[in-house]
Homo-oligomer: A and B are copies of this chain.
Amino acid sequence: MTVETTEAAKAAEPRVRRVLIADLGAHLGEAVHVRGWLHAIRSLGRTNFVILRDGSGLIQIVTPAERLAQLGPLESSVAVEALVSADPRAPLGVELTEPRFAMLAPASGPPLIDLTKPHLPGGLPFLLDHASVALRHPTRREAARLSSALVRGFRSELEALGFQEVFTPKILGTATEGGAHVFPLDYFGRPAFLAQSPQFYKQMLVGAFERVYEVGPVFRAEPHDTARHLSQYTSLDAELGFIDSWRDVAAVLAHVMAAMMASAHTAVPSVAVPAVPETLPMVHFQDALQLAGRGLGENLDGEPDLAPAHERWLSEWAAREHGSDFLLVVGYPLAHRPFYTHPDPEHPGCSASFDLLFRGQEIVTGGQRLHRYTDYLAALAARGFDAAPYQSYLEAFRTGMPAHGGFAIGLERVVQKILGAANIREVCLFPRDVHRLQP
Contact = CB atoms under 8 A, between A and B. Distances in A.
Contacts of A319: none
B401 A13 contact: no
A287 B2 CA distance: 7
B371 A9 contact: no
Interface stretch (A61-69, A90-98, A134-142, A334-342): A134-142
A429 B9 contact: no
Interface stretch (A116-124, A302-310, A390-398, A416-424): A390-398
A430 interface: yes
Contacts of A170: 170, 217, 219, 232
A124 to B, nearest CB: 16
A258 to B, nearest CB: 8
B399 A11 contact: no
A132 B399 contact: yes
For this complex, into which size category does the number of interface residues on chain A fall? 35 or more
Contact of A280 (B5, B280, B321, B401): B5
B16 A248 contact: yes
A105 B141 contact: no
Nearest to A108: B398
A107 B399 contact: yes
Nearest to A106: B400
A250 interface: yes
A279 to B, nearest CB: 4
Nearest to A140: B208
A313 to B, nearest CB: 15
Interface stretch (A24-32, A159-167, A361-369): A159-167
A372 interface: yes
B148 A55 contact: no
23 contacts: A2-B287, A5-B281, A6-B279, A9-B277, A10-B278, A16-B242, A37-B400, A38-B400, A75-B400, A105-B372, A105-B400, A105-B401, A107-B398, A132-B207, A132-B393, A144-B209, A145-B164, A168-B429, A171-B194, A171-B219, A185-B194, A188-B223, A192-B437
- Going nearest first, the 10 A-B pairs with the smallest beta carbon separation are A55-B210, A392-B439, A132-B396, A5-B279, A9-B254, A135-B208, A173-B437, A148-B165, A77-B402, A107-B400
